[in-house]
Amino acid sequence: MEQNKNSKDKQLDLFRSIDKGKKLTTNQGLRISEDEHSLKAGYRGPTLMEDFHFREKMTHFDHERIPERVVHARGYAAHGEFELYESMAPYTKAAFLQKPGSKTPVFTRFSTVAGSRGSAETVRDVRGFAVKFYTEEGNYDLVGNNIPIFFIQDAIKFPDLVHAVKPEPHNEMPQAASAHDTFWDFVANNQESAHMIMWHMSDRTIPRSFRMMEGFGVHTFRFVNAKGEAHFVKFHWKPKLGVHSLVWDEAQKINGKDPDFHRRDLWESIEKGNFVEYELGVQLIEEKDEFMFPFDILDPTKIWPEEIVPVKIIGKMTLNRNVDNVFAETEQVAFHPGNVVPGIDFTNDPLLQGRLFSYTDTQLIRLGGPNFHELPINRPVCPFHNNQRDGYGRQTINVGQVSYHKNSLANNTPSTSTEEEGGYVHYQEKVEGRKIQARSESFADHFSQAKLFWNSMSITEKKHIVDAFSFEVGKVKDKNVRQQVVDMFANVDVGLATAIAEAVGAEFPTGVEESPVTDTSPALSMENTVKLPDTRKVAVLIGRNFNGAEVESVVKACVEAGVQVDIISEKFGILYGEDKFAVDVDETFLTVHPVLYDALYVVGGEADNPKKFRMDAADFIDEAYRHYKPIGVAKTGMALFEGSDAVAGPGIVIADTAAHFNEDFIAAIAAHRHWDREVYGWED
């Protein structure tokens, strides 16, 4: 294990402190004889100021908290590595993208955007997807989201967006939610957000797992090769398990049953050895083709449709180690889109340009000064030398009398590097123009790609988008704002706007010219994603004296397919089948809830309280059925199944009628949801 550690892990070893089995000391290393009673003048007398241990302990506690992030406060992270599939030398000189098979340590943080650090995790929200590459040329940060575009086109509007989506200041509600007046007032009066709102109302914003969502760099960057030739580039993270979501009712219930649902899923998967994998893809456009598209490639509210600009898969990231300490790593990690390496450069995307300022400014207030790069999680694996000195939290002990450039006392060192020596040189883009506070006309189309997204959705996805709009806009109290939203989205699709109007009590749109776009992009629909049974969680509802041979066969088949199995019964302990086959109960009906599982296997059996057992099982079955999840029914489980509201149909695999139960049940689990259980009665 030790020999397989990457360079970042070895570096972090220097900062790890293992307290187990050690003697208690002060921060100065002095051993402590008493840690339960402060020093007093007599048994009932006052505490004495000379108790240095009490003062040190209390002072540190009083200063334990740092400001949470304004956005992306609720996050979770893991360590891993990135392995390159093929050389990118024709496009970039970035060293970590040159040699196939080379591995680079990474640290990846996932997050929600709107909520506070203590908010729930399955809210409807954009998810942050930030990756720090610890390369030999310095740290490279790819700081993005699970949606490829953004709400606004210019960074100067970012404070307005965040103010609008955060809890309203007069009553500090609602937490971690966009379903309120100020957010939708912002949307209706900043119509560049139209495309992003279509994504935001889709199931992309209620992911099943961090492990099952895409990641995007959002902005257009540049690759620059050793010859100085540039390509425009967008970055994509493709999850190996496919892109899957929760349903809204399920997401809301999970917030109450397990507000740590996503972080628990990531932590447990890695602890079990089910390492998390994403492939890195790039879209590339030659400089000469910058203006050949019907959209501006620098507009952060636009995608490059994959059918027009294919995604080239170039490597794989594997997250294989959980953090040792959430605060020291996940909370103190400082990402910055301006952390680049030679061969990766910026473009004139006005949202990106603003982020290049904002991130450093944020870290200064959060992490207490300019030395946050010296914290273990942020420290590069390559050496760093410069003339920066002092400040809060300084750890480096700089040796010598010189701390300026140019100098003769140290032979003008540390010295700069030429481009050939690895020095970073900005791409020499020709720039002309007058100083102006305006936006390019090429950014003016706000509705065509929103319509492309709508056209690309399946009937089920469209139904969910309408439901999401209905819920969110239905929470808006101001009727005028509701009407503005309806009128705005009539520019996308009149049928969509009419459905929203009907749901929220607004006037139907009239006289609005919707976008004429008829194209589709199959890559945008989650219906076309990878569907595997791997790491799906199945709840086995079981009592005593079950059919051991049947259960053993099904459980074995699930495990071999990579499915995780939890045995659930009325109480903890060992349960025996008729043939003495035994299972150990993992959870009880009281300690878990059906929304925390991807599928059910209904076994049945005897119970101490048969009536309650049947009621609890029926609740599990009804919830799973309502959320379109697969349900397998053993021969002994039919009585429980028939006692629920579920009926035989898509995704229901019954042992009495299935010719190949195990195979059929695994296939049903892989499908994830069985939307064809319901006829919506709503047409495109």
| Stated pTM of the model | 0.95
Same domain, 547 and 633: yes
Among residues 323, 345, 374, which one ends one of the domains? 374
pLDDT over 60 at 684, yes or no? no
Domain membership flag for residue 7: no
Domain membership flag for residue 434: no
**Contact between residue 640 and residue 617 where contact means Cβ atoms under 8 Å apart:** yes
Give the Å distances, CA to CA, from 603 to 547, 614, 633.
8, 12, 6
Res 17: pLDDT: 87
322 is catalytic: no
Domain membership flag for residue 612: yes
At 490, which amino acid appears? A
Same domain, 461 and 581: no
Q: Which helix (H) or strand (E) holds 496?
A: helix 494-504
Domain membership flag for residue 6: no
190 is catalytic: no
Same domain, 196 and 320: yes
Confidence of residue 76 (pLDDT cuts 50, 70, 90): very high
Res 285: pLDDT: 98
Q: How does pLDDT run across 508-527, given as a tens digit for each residue?
A: 999 899 999 999 999 999 99
Among residues 45, 64, 83, which one ends one of the domains? 64
CATH code of the domain containing 483:
1.20.1370.20
- For residue 248, the enclosing domain spans 75-374
Give the Å distances, CA to CA, from 639 to 185, 546, 635, 651, 654.
52, 13, 9, 18, 12
Same domain, 58 and 206: no
| Residue that has been written with the tokens 């210019």 in this structure | 154
The number of angstroms, rounded, from the C-alpha of 544 to the middle of its chain's C-alpha atoms is 41
Among residues 44, 64, 84, which one ends one of the domains? 64
Task: Give the gyration radius of the chain's Cα atoms.
Answer: 28
CATH code of the domain containing 626:
3.40.50.880
Across all residues in the chain, what is the average pLDDT? Answer: 95
CATH code of the domain containing 274:
2.40.180.10
Same domain, 461 and 561: no
pLDDT over 90 at 658, yes or no? no
The number of angstroms, rounded, from the C-alpha of 511 to the middle of its chain's C-alpha atoms is 40
Catalytic pick among 145, 146, 547, 662: 145
Same domain, 52 and 175: no
- Residue 626: which residues within 8 A CB-CB, separation 6 or more? 249
Confidence of residue 53 (pLDDT cuts 50, 70, 90): very high
Q: What would the two tokens of residue 131 be?
A: 């990756």
Domain membership flag for residue 209: yes
Res 683: pLDDT: 39
Same domain, 227 and 142: yes
Same domain, 109 and 257: yes
**Contact between residue 109 and residue 333 where contact means Cβ atoms under 8 Å apart:** yes
Domain membership flag for residue 450: no
Burial (0-12, 13-18, 19+ Cβ within 10 Å), 326: middle
Res 132: pLDDT: 98
| 279-291 mean pLDDT | 97
Beta-strand (E) ranges in 349-398?
Answer: none
Same domain, 498 and 582: no
| 4-10 mean pLDDT | 83
Structural domains counted in the chain: 4
pLDDT over 60 at 681, yes or no? no
Same domain, 510 and 594: no
pLDDT over 70 at 680, yes or no? no
Same domain, 638 and 489: no
Res 3: pLDDT: 52
Res 75: pLDDT: 97
DSSP at 291:
T
Q: How does pLDDT run across 530-583, given as a tens digit for each residue?
A: 999 999 999 999 999 999 999 999 999 999 999 999 999 999 999 999 888 999
Res 432: pLDDT: 85
**Contact between residue 484 and residue 188 where contact means Cβ atoms under 8 Å apart:** yes
Catalytic pick among 6, 53, 72, 231: 72
N-term to C-term CA, the chain: 55
Domain membership flag for residue 496: yes
Same domain, 509 and 582: no
Q: Sign of the CA dihedral 128, 147, 209, 203?
A: positive
Domain membership flag for residue 402: no
Res 1: pLDDT: 41
Rounded to 5 degrees, what angle do the CA atoms 405, 406, 410 make?
90
